[in-house]
Amino acid sequence: MNIVIFGLGYVGSTAAGCIASQGHNVVGVDINESKVEAINAGRSPVKEPGLDALIAKARADDLLRAQAEIGTALAGCELAIVCVGTPSAADGAHDMSHILHVTRNIAAAIDPKQAAPLTVAYRSTMRPGSMDQLIQPIFERALGDDCARSVSLVYNPEFLREASAIADYFEPPKIVIGTRDGEPNASMETLHEGIDALVFRVGLREAELTKFVDNSWHAVKVAFANEIGRVCEQLDISAAQVHAIFAADTKLNISDHYTRPGAAFGGSCLPKDVRALQHMASDIGANTHLMDSLLRSNEAHKHHQFLQATRGLEKGAKLLLVGLAFKRETDDLRESPAVDMARKLLDAGFELDIYDPGVEPDQLVGQNLGYAAALLPTMESMLVDRETAEVDDYARVIATNSLIETLDLKTADIVDISRIT
């Protein structure tokens, strides 16, 4: 393919070298003359192991060149990749000025009479909705009625780490290709031929959010590790050994477990252990601000789910809560988010029935009984059997776990707060 790359920083230079090494013809465009000169001299404009050699070979094979102006670079081009920076603005949002400037230049340079649409793929990190609300309108204003057949917009986030960028390009953790309809794009399929990675073909906004999610998660992991490290240091514990034990668990710790958005955490372990670690850290002066925020975040999520579950309902409406225990097929009510949901529903003036065949009030003992009695003293009168749950006329059914799958319900108004879509 003939490919033009806009922006020759870390992402753009790496992409240029790697893509040219695959046999594509690449033109790099950057307003920084020193970067253009470096590429044309067969050198990398940035310090990245192995990139000088890739660029030198690409130049020798006449597969790569650079220029400061767009000129006629798009003539005969199948794919344009935008890699310009989106630095932080004063308010913390991304500064989109470079993106908008490049987009206007691309839109102005497109020949509306070209035989096939130009795929314009953005790799710069930007807020979800940017492709729809900022980028698309620029092309529409410039191309008018020809826009739909002249341009195909793609959001394709990159997952490159400095100092290992070339390896990351050819062996990425995943490939994410966002299009308006979530369908494959021919140019992007060709670009990634020969790269063995899981490919997600999704909508534009899902693709745009991906980088934010990944980078924030990486930041959480670093902050979490360092907070645990401070606790270990204060208690004269080997942080390295604790980490080795933690990282060895790839079933629960280093895995997708507990990372799926859905229900709040609860039960007999997580809340009490977080509180205890918070207390321990405070007692020894470890300053674990991330962990200090966990319970507040969890309470905020419980309230969010309450608002989600009751949106549009009239006060006094009759509701069915399916699942009261912390998990299905248990009777553990200790710090169950479902118990908190029931309490909020009652406090808000709703009439409430609860279906959970695993919970038998006369079998509850100890802390389990105490927690339920404190928050739901009239719980026994609210529990209903399967027949009642299935035949009564409820304004809405609120599901807290997979127990909902066992019922043949009369109402179609079901809010399942344990699942994501």
Q: What is the mean pLDDT of residues 314-336?
A: 91
Query: How far apart, in whole angstroms, are the C-alpha atoms of residue 203 and residue 182?
Result: 4
Indicate which residues carry an active-site annotation.
Answer: 269
32 and 149: one domain?
A: yes
Domain boundary at 288, 311, 338, which?
A: 288
Domain boundary at 188, 205, 222, which?
A: 205
Query: How far apart, in whole angstroms, are the C-alpha atoms of residue 82 and residue 99?
Result: 8
Domain boundary at 241, 256, 288, which?
A: 288
Any domain includes 293: no
The distance in angstroms from the start CA to the end CA of the chain is 37
Paired tokens of 353: 């029935």
194 and 233: one domain?
A: no
Q: Which domain covers residue 305, as residue numbers?
A: 299-416
The DSSP line for 131-167 is IIIIIHHHHHHHHGGGHHHHEEEEE------TTSHHH
318 and 397: one domain?
A: yes
CA distances from 50 to 41, 44, 129 (A): 16, 9, 36
**According to the model, what pLDDT value does residue 421 have?**
57
Mean pLDDT of the chain: 93
Any domain includes 337: yes
Residue 311's domain is classified under what CATH number?
Answer: 3.40.50.720
pLDDT > 90: what percent of the chain? 78
What is the tens place of the pLDDT at every residue in 378-405? 999 999 999 999 999 999 999 999 999 9
7 and 156: one domain?
A: yes
**According to the model, what pLDDT value does residue 420 have?**
64
What is the tens place of the pLDDT at every residue in 211-266? 899 999 998 998 999 899 999 999 999 999 999 999 999 999 999 888 888 889 88
181 and 242: one domain?
A: no
> Dihedral of CA 272/274/279/283: which sign?
positive
